[in-house]
Amino acid sequence: MYLTKSLSAWGSPDFEPSLKQEIAATVDALPLQQALAFGNRVTDEPITVVIHRCTPLPETLLVKVGVFYQGIISGCNCSDDPTPTVGHTEYCELSIRIDRKTALTEIVLVNDD
C-alpha cells in the first residue's frame, strides 16, 4: 500500500483529512478482521479513523490511529436463520509506518495486552 497523498500533505493542514480519507479508501487492506472483539465478520459500513499520534522520523512517518468500524455475528444465511444482522461497533488501533521517500506503507494491528 502507498499513502502518497498523505505523504505529500505532511506538514500541512491537509495531512489529517488526507490520511483519514486514504485509510478509509483502503479498508480492505486493514487488519480489521483480526481485531474483531464482538463479531466474527467485518461489515461493509464506512469506518471512522481517529489520529492519535504522528511521529516524524528521518526516513519514516509513524502514525498511530484508532479505527471504529462495524462487525456482525454471521450465521448460516439460511432463510429461517434467526441471527440478527445488526452491527456491533468495533474498535482497534493501528500503527502506520510511511516511508518518506516512496510512500510505501506498512500497517500493523496494535495489541496493548
- In the chain, what are the domain boundaries? 4-109
Separation between Cα atoms, residue 9 and residue 77, nearest integer Å: 44
Distance of alpha carbon 92 from alpha carbon 69, whole angstroms: 9
Question: What is the C-alpha radius of gyration for the chain, rounded to an integer number of angstroms?
Answer: 16
Which residues, other chains included, contact 53 with Cβ-Cβ below 8 Å and sequence gap of 6+? 62, 63, 64
What pLDDT was estimated at residue 26? 92
- Residue 94's H or E segment, with its range, is strand 88-99
The architecture CATH gives domain 4-109: Roll (3.10)
What is the mean pLDDT for each group of 10 consecutive residues in the chain (113 residues)?
A: 95 96 94 92 94 96 97 70 73 97 96 67
User: Which whole-number Å values give the CA distances from 27 to 2, 13, 76, 77, in the listed order?
Assistant: 13, 23, 25, 24
Q: Give this prediction's pTM.
A: 0.86
Residue 82 has a pLDDT of: 60
